């Protein structure tokens, strides 16, 4: 099992740092999956923790100038390790003034993902910061629990409004209620609703557009005004929204009536999927 990669381009480095910051906001610990073409940050949460799942995928060649890996075996050419996401984001925080970044799997006193950063310094000398992030190597037999979640057939698919706007709305709603109903239809309408004994608040978004063709749905005999809704934990939604520092290229929300809401984001060349299950 070997892994070694290098980033020299500043833009790639900043982008990678942003991704790791986002992951740290979304998941306390996560699984990093390394395969010859891709890197994945995975959170497949247990029901006990609220059942939130995350699947983040990036193409290694968009980031790394060098990338060598050797998995467990030739037919299972992958590596799965578990790490505390904040460690990675903290390690990458030191790259602000970096010349190059290297990431390696090492086994110093314990298995670790070693991030070493070569910094610019005033003098000609080089300064190197090395971070050894403790990891847990996940054995082959547990890999099957860490596969990409299947996206259930959604009742409604709709583009999200500007996430910052959404975040400021949800932030205020969080002060009033613990759960929130998110509902949408094929006519480009999305509502965020909270209800308590004293007050009901609904924020309406219009003309959001949908990737599903209205004509298709109509031909299937569906009513485009029909709302699909799901009631979720408001904190989980806010966590997802707070993790987004840059506005994504594409942001899609898929709702399966009363079951799950699935957010599908494209951040430049990185895809992020985030699943929040309905409250029972």
Interface with another protein by CB under 8 A: which residues?
Answer: 29, 82, 84, 87, 90-91, 93-94, 104, 106-112, 114, 116, 121-136
Q: Are the C-beta atoms of 22 and 58 separated by less than 8 Å?
A: no
29 vs 258 by CB, closer to another protein: 29
85 vs 244 by CB, closer to another protein: 85
R_g over Cα of the chain: 21
In the complex, minimum distance from the CB of residue 18 to another protein, in angstroms, rounded to a whole number = 19
How far CA 280 is from CA of 183, 232, 260, in Å, comes to 16, 9, 11
112 vs 255 by CB, closer to another protein: 112
125 vs 219 by CB, closer to another protein: 125
Distance of CA 99 to the CA centre of its chain: 27
114 vs 273 by CB, closer to another protein: 114
Q: Are the C-beta atoms of 91 and 115 separated by less than 8 Å?
A: yes
- Say which DSSP state 181 is in: E
120 vs 197 by CB, closer to another protein: 120
121 vs 245 by CB, closer to another protein: 121
Helix axes 234-242, 163-174, angle to 10 degrees: 140
In the complex, minimum distance from the CB of residue 133 to another protein, in angstroms, rounded to a whole number = 5
**Residue 134 token pair:** 């403790």
Distance of CA 267 to the CA centre of its chain: 10
111 vs 149 by CB, closer to another protein: 111
Q: Are the C-beta atoms of 182 and 230 separated by less than 8 Å?
A: yes
How far CA 259 is from CA of 42, 164, 203, 212, in Å, comes to 21, 25, 21, 20
In the complex, minimum distance from the CB of residue 121 to another protein, in angstroms, rounded to a whole number = 6
In the complex, minimum distance from the CB of residue 83 to another protein, in angstroms, rounded to a whole number = 9
Q: Which residue, among 237, 271, 29, has the nearest Cα to 146 in the 3D structure? A: 29
**Residue 260 token pair:** 């799950």
In the complex, minimum distance from the CB of residue 8 to another protein, in angstroms, rounded to a whole number = 16
In the complex, minimum distance from the CB of residue 96 to another protein, in angstroms, rounded to a whole number = 10
- Residue count of the chain: 280
For residue 195, what are the β-bridge partners? 200
In the complex, minimum distance from the CB of residue 86 to another protein, in angstroms, rounded to a whole number = 9
Strands 250-256 and 156-159: antiparallel
In the complex, minimum distance from the CB of residue 38 to another protein, in angstroms, rounded to a whole number = 24
């Amino acid at each position: 099992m070997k892994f070694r990669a290098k980033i020299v381009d500043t833009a790639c480095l900043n982008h990678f740092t942003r991704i790791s910051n986002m992951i740290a906001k979304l998941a306390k610990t996560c699984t990093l999956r390394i395969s010859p073409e891709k890197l994945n940050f995975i959170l497949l949460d247990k029901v006990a923790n609220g059942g939130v799942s995350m699947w983040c995928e990036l193409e290694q060649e968009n980031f790394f100038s060098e990338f060598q890996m050797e998995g467990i075996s030739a037919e299972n050419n992958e590596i799965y390790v578990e790490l505390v996401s904040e460690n990675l984001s903290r390690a990458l925080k030191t790259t602000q003034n970096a010349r190059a970044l290297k990431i390696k799997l090492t086994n110093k006193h314990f298995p670790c993902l070693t991030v070493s950063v070569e910094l610019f310094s005033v003098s000609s000398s080089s300064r190197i910061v090395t971070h050894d992030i403790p990891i847990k190597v996940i054995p082959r037999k547990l890999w099957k629990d860490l596969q990409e979640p299947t996206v259930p057939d959604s009742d409604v698919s709709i583009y999200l409004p500007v996430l910052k706007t959404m975040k400021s709305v949800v932030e205020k709603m969080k002060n009033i209620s613990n759960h929130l109903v998110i509902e949408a239809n094929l006519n480009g309408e999305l509502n965020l609703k909270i209800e308590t004994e004293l007050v009901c608040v609904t924020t309406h978004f219009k003309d959001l557009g949908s990737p599903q063709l209205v004509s298709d749905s109509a031909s299937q005999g569906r009513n485009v005004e029909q709302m699909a809704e799901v009631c979720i934990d408001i904190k989980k939604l806010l966590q997802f929204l707070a993790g987004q520092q840059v506005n994504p290229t594409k942001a899609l929300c898929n709702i399966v009536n009363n079951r799950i809401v699935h957010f599908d984001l494209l951040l430049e060349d990185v895809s992020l999927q985030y699943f929040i299950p309905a409250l029972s």
